[in-house]
Chain A
Amino acid sequence: MPLSPGQSLVIIIVTALVTFSTRVIPFLLFPEGRKIPKVVQYLGKVLPPAVIGMLIIYCYKNVSFLSAPFGVPEVLCGALVVVLYIWKRNNLLSIGAGTVLYMVLVQTVFS
Chain B
Amino acid sequence: MKKKTGYAAAFQAAFPYTIPVLTGYLFIGIAFGIMFQEKGYNFLWAALMSVLVYAGSGQYLAVNFFAPGVSLFYVIFMTFMVNVRHIFYGISMLDKFKHMGKRKLYMIFSLTDETYSLLFITKVPKDVDKSKFVLAIALLDQCYWIAGSVIGALAGHLIPFDSTGVDFAMTALFLVIMTEQWMSSKNHLPALAGIGSAVVCRLIFGASNFILPSMICILLLLLSGRKKIEALGGQDLVKEVDRHAS
Contact = CB atoms under 8 A, between A and B. Distances in A.
Interface of A: 1-3, 8, 10-16, 18-27, 30, 32, 36, 39-62, 73-74, 77-78, 81-82, 85-86, 89, 91-92, 94-96, 98-99, 102-103, 105-107
Interface string B74-106: 011001100111111111111101110000100
B160 interface: no
B166 interface: yes
A41 to B, nearest CB: 8
B7 to A, nearest CB: 23
A95 B169 contact: yes
- The secondary-structure label for the interface of chain A is helix
Contact of B198 (A42, A57, A74): A57
Contacts of B176: 81-82, 85, 91, 94-95
A91 B173 CA distance: 8
A42 to B, nearest CB: 6
Given A2-B39, A19-B55, A59 B171 contact: yes
Contacts of B222: 42-43, 46-47, 50
A15 to B, nearest CB: 5
Nearest to B171: A59
B76 A57 contact: no
Interface string B192-229: 11110111001000010011001100110011001001
Contacts of B183: 86
A107 B164 contact: yes
A52 B53 contact: no
A58 B213 CA distance: 13
Nearest to A104: B165
Nearest to B243: A89
A94 B172 contact: yes
Contacts of A25: 87, 90
A12 B48 CA distance: 8
Given A54-B197, A78-B175, A91-B176, A23 B237 contact: no
B171 A52 contact: no
Interface stretch (B63-71, B127-135, B141-149): B63-71
B52 interface: yes
